[in-house]
Amino acid sequence: MGTVRTAIPGLDELIEGGYIENDIILVTGGPGAGKTTLGIQYLVGGATNFNEPGVLVVMDGTPERIIRDSWRFGWDIEKLISQKKIKIIYANPFKYTKFTKTPEDRTPCVIVASKNIADTLRQIQIEVEEIQAKRLFIDSITSLKLAVDRTDVRQIVSELIKNLEYLDCTTLMTSEMHSAQSFSIEEYLSSGVIRLHIFRAGGCRLRAIEILKMRGVKHDESLHPYEIQERGIVVHSTETVMNDKISLFDNMGW
């Protein structure tokens, strides 16, 4: 079993060198925690430094927005798309009724105009095969959970995760975290869970990363500070954060 480098400075050190090949890893955290950035950095780093192409599935926000925000970190997604190192699938489950590209919309992406998870999975398989992708990033499955009936959530999430396991890809997916004290269905079903916490401590904001689980890995169990810098996320793996700070998300009345 090989390992897949995370492309996040400091993160590989916490998980014995990288993600286990073909695993499904969940990245969870509150608003603005850096979930999307961590996933895009994984794809861009893989394509640029490790010759591992990647597929991005946009379920939240738009591809234009992701491409624009990536520029801030110096990541040229459009160039990587033209080199067939990245492919974008736009699968917004809320827009499936009237969902076509306008002529002025030049974002290079494939659209899945369906609320049905099987259609999205089929398209993912096509695009993964086309560019021989080794990395997959789905942002975020919370949109999918909100788009289906409450009673179907568990079944849809487990169907998604089970099917992703058949791909020859190492998958990262994001979901919202509403409380640091409770767990979601996707946290149980994924092979690994990375939590991005934001704490308030003495008028300052502190970001801390935690490896909640990583099956088959003797992973680090402490909270470590991370920063979102000019060139993306950096984890300070040799520093730790005391768990006596106030979590912003448990303080918001969720």
* Contact set with ligand ATP (CB under 6 A): 29, 31-37, 72, 228
Q: Shortest gap between Cβ of 118 and ligand ATP (angstroms)?
A: 25
CB nearer to ligand ATP: give 22 or 36: 36
173, 186 contact by CB (below 8 A): yes
Which residue's CB is nearer to ligand ATP, number 167 or number 197?
Answer: 197
Q: Which is nearer to ligand ATP, 170 or 174 (CB)?
A: 174
34 binds, among Mg ion, ligand ATP, none (CB under 5 to 8 A by kind): ligand ATP
Which does residue 72 bind out of Mg ion, ligand ATP, none, counting CB within 5 to 8 angstroms by kind?
ligand ATP
Instruction: Please provide the DSSP assignment of 99-117 as one string.
Output: ----TT-----EE---S-H
Instruction: Check binding of 170 to Mg ion (CB under 5 A).
Output: no
Q: How far apart are CA 87 and CA 110, in angstroms?
A: 8
**Applying CB under 5 A, what is the total number of residues that bind Mg ion?**
2
Beta-bridged to residue 247, according to DSSP, are 199
CB of 253 to ligand ATP, least distance (A): 18
Q: Which long-range contacts link 214-222 to residues 24+ away (Cβ below 8 Å)?
A: 214/15, 214/19, 214/20, 214/25, 215/20, 215/23, 215/191, 216/20, 216/191, 217/15, 217/16, 217/20, 217/192, 218/16, 219/14, 219/15, 219/16, 220/13, 220/14, 220/15
One character per residue 29-68, x = contact with Mg ion (rule: CB under 5 A): ------xx--------------------------------
Judged by beta carbon, residue 35 or residue 195, the one nearer Mg ion is: 35
Q: Are 174 and 35 in contact (CB under 8 A)?
A: yes
Measuring CA to CA, which residue among 138, 111, 143 is closest to residue 55?
A: 138
Which CB sits closer to ligand ATP, 20 or 27?
27
Rounded CA-CA distance 93/150 in Å is 15
Q: Which residue's beta carbon is nearest to the bound Mg ion? A: 36
Partner in contact with 225, chosen from Mg ion, ligand ATP, none, beta carbon below 5 to 8 Å by kind = none
According to the binding rule CB under 5 A, does residue 92 interact with Mg ion? no
Give the whole-angstrom CA distance, residue 155 versus residue 31: 26
Q: Is 175 in the site for Mg ion (CB under 5 A)?
A: no
32 binds, among ligand ATP, Mg ion, none (CB under 5 to 8 A by kind): ligand ATP
Cβ atoms of 213 and 192 within 8 Å: the answer is: yes
Contact present, 168 and 22 (Cβ < 8 Å): yes
Q: Work out how close the CB of 33 gets to ligand ATP at its nearest, in angstroms, rounded to a whole number.
A: 4
Specify the residue, 33 or 55, whose C-beta has the smaller distance to Mg ion.
Answer: 33
Q: Which residues bind Mg ion (CB under 5 A)?
A: 35-36
